[in-house]
Amino acid sequence: MNTAESPQQLAEAQETVRLLQEELAETNRGLVTLMMEMEQRVDERTSELCAAHAELKKTNSDLMQLTVELDDRVVQRAAELEAANETLTQTRIAALNLMEDAIVARNETAQINVQLEQRVHDRTAQLEAANKEIESFSYSVSHDLRAPLRHVQGYVDMLGREAGGQLSDKGRRYMKTIADASREMGVLIDDLLAFSRMGRADMIETRVNLDSLVQATLRDLEPATRERNIVWKTPPLPAVQADPAMLKLALTNLLSNAVKFTGPRDPAQIEIGCGGMEGERVIVFVRDNGVGFDPQYAHKLFGVFQRLHRADEFEGTGIGLANVRRMIARQGGRVWAEGALDRGATFYFTLKPSASTNPAN
């Protein structure tokens, strides 16, 4: 190496290094600026999604309230039509009796009978049309509310894939909150539609072996209770007259609630038993040693969307117990509850005993 050129080459190399360092520093400043702009855009998009979610939630609340009101109106109209049909049936019977007593008059009475038949047919058609209208409305609610939910969930997923690694902890919390709220709203829509359909479902009353039904319900709950330490107490229960599907759904709601609200207990203790008779009806109860509730709010337990615990403590939509009340009421029974804070709860409901059941048992 030429020693005369070494200092010059060294100086050139140092200059090159300095230029590269300046270029690298400029590149780093550009990257920092780009990341700040990206995070700002993510925050802005998240805020837009939160605002859209809030508006969607309000719209959902309004539609759900409308569903409840429309369901009540249909039930009321159905009762009016049933009463009118009963009146028409009685009128028809009276007309038939009159026709038998006055055979010499077959033309006028026959015309009356035809008119009555037509009126019965018309009223029946109105009732069927009302039922179809509420079914159509339920389908529309299900479809129209789920579509924006799918959009929200889809955009959240896309945002997570596109910029998930660049989001701040706050941005990721925003995304999780939106996703969780969307899923919760989907469950709420399903529960509301189930509540609406319950008022119109056909009933098939038959003899039901409560012992077998309780055991079948407990088997269905095994996936949710397998990891729990639960002591089940299931003494012999009487047979009852009820709709098996509705009664099983009511038991599922009550036992699921008991499992949920005994979550902090180890062991949890849940009992399904018979509490004697109320008039001519059997009293059945579900008792647990869970967190209980403030008894001054017991009247709110069976209302739609009524919750006595915060959503971050125990999940749920506030419709399950309202469904229980409706199912038991449709079978002529009633539901009530007793409890105290941190001292468990007991839910009672009454059913018609089977003709072969000895009330003393």
Query: What CATH number is associated with residue 257?
Result: 3.30.565.10
Whether 318 maps to a domain, the answer reads yes
CB 334, CB 327: distance < 8 Å: no
Same domain, 159 and 232: no
For 297, the domain range is 206-353
Tell me what the mean pLDDT of segment 317-327 comes to.
Answer: 77
Is the pLDDT score of 237 beyond 50? yes
Tell me which of 325 and 1 has the higher pLDDT: 325
Whether 348 maps to a domain, the answer reads yes
CB 274, CB 237: distance < 8 Å: yes
Confidence tier at 259 by pLDDT (50, 70, 90): very high
Whether 38 maps to a domain, the answer reads no
Report the pLDDT value the prediction gives residue 360, as an integer from 0 to 100.
Answer: 43
Report the pLDDT value the prediction gives residue 352, as an integer from 0 to 100.
Answer: 94
Tell me what the mean pLDDT of segment 233-242 comes to.
Answer: 94
Confidence tier at 330 by pLDDT (50, 70, 90): confident
Whether 271 maps to a domain, the answer reads yes
Report the pLDDT value the prediction gives residue 15, as an integer from 0 to 100.
Answer: 86
Whether 149 maps to a domain, the answer reads yes
Same domain, 58 and 105: yes
Is the pLDDT score of 96 beyond 70? yes
Same domain, 250 and 122: no
Q: Which of 153, 182, 198 finishes a domain?
A: 198
**Domain count across the chain:** 2
Tell me which of 197 and 339 has the higher pLDDT: 339
Lowest mean pLDDT among 64-78, 175-189, 298-312, 339-353: 298-312
CB 347, CB 292: distance < 8 Å: no
Q: Which of 151, 174, 198 finishes a domain?
A: 198
Contacts of 327 (CB under 8 A, 6+ apart): 198, 246, 247, 249, 250
Tell me what the mean pLDDT of segment 109-129 comes to.
Answer: 81
Whether 1 maps to a domain, the answer reads no
Report the pLDDT value the prediction gives residue 270, as an integer from 0 to 100.
Answer: 96
CB 345, CB 339: distance < 8 Å: yes
Same domain, 282 and 164: no
Tell me what the mean pLDDT of segment 243-269 comes to.
Answer: 90
Gap between the Cα atoms of 27 and 85, Å rounded: 84
The most confident of 270-279, 290-299, 313-322, by mean pLDDT? 270-279
Same domain, 133 and 68: yes
Average per-residue pLDDT in the chain? 80
Tell me what the mean pLDDT of segment 71-97 comes to.
Answer: 75
Whether 171 maps to a domain, the answer reads yes
The most confident of 41-45, 204-208, 286-290, by mean pLDDT? 286-290
Same domain, 112 and 215: no
Tell me what the mean pLDDT of segment 76-99 comes to.
Answer: 76
Contacts of 246 (CB under 8 A, 6+ apart): 198, 201, 203, 327, 330, 331
Same domain, 174 and 233: no
Same domain, 185 and 321: no
Report the pLDDT value the prediction gives residue 359, as an integer from 0 to 100.
Answer: 46
Same domain, 298 and 227: yes
Confidence tier at 105 by pLDDT (50, 70, 90): low
Is the pLDDT score of 136 beyond 70? no
Report the pLDDT value the prediction gives residue 21, as an integer from 0 to 100.
Answer: 86
- pLDDT > 90: what percent of the chain? 23
Report the pLDDT value the prediction gives residue 183, as an integer from 0 to 100.
Answer: 73
Gap between the Cα atoms of 306 and 108, Å rounded: 58
Tell me what the mean pLDDT of segment 78-93 comes to.
Answer: 76
Q: Which of 198, 233, 260 finishes a domain?
A: 198
Report the pLDDT value the prediction gives residue 215, as an integer from 0 to 100.
Answer: 94
Whether 139 maps to a domain, the answer reads yes
Tell me what the mean pLDDT of segment 219-229 comes to.
Answer: 90
127-166: b or e for each residue (b if 16 or more CB lie within 10 Å)?
A: beebeeebeebbeebeeebeebbeebeebbeebbeebeee
Same domain, 162 and 229: no
Same domain, 280 and 224: yes
Residue 291 host element (H or E) = none
Summarize pLDDT for 13-32 with one digit per residue, the tens: 888 888 888 888 888 888 78
Gap between the Cα atoms of 276 and 360, Å rounded: 8
Structure tokens at 75: 């039930």
C-alpha 124: how far from its chain's center? 32
Summarize pLDDT for 140-167 with one digit per residue, the tens: 666 677 777 777 888 888 888 887 678 7
Gap between the Cα atoms of 50 and 358, Å rounded: 59
Structure tokens at 279: 């008039």
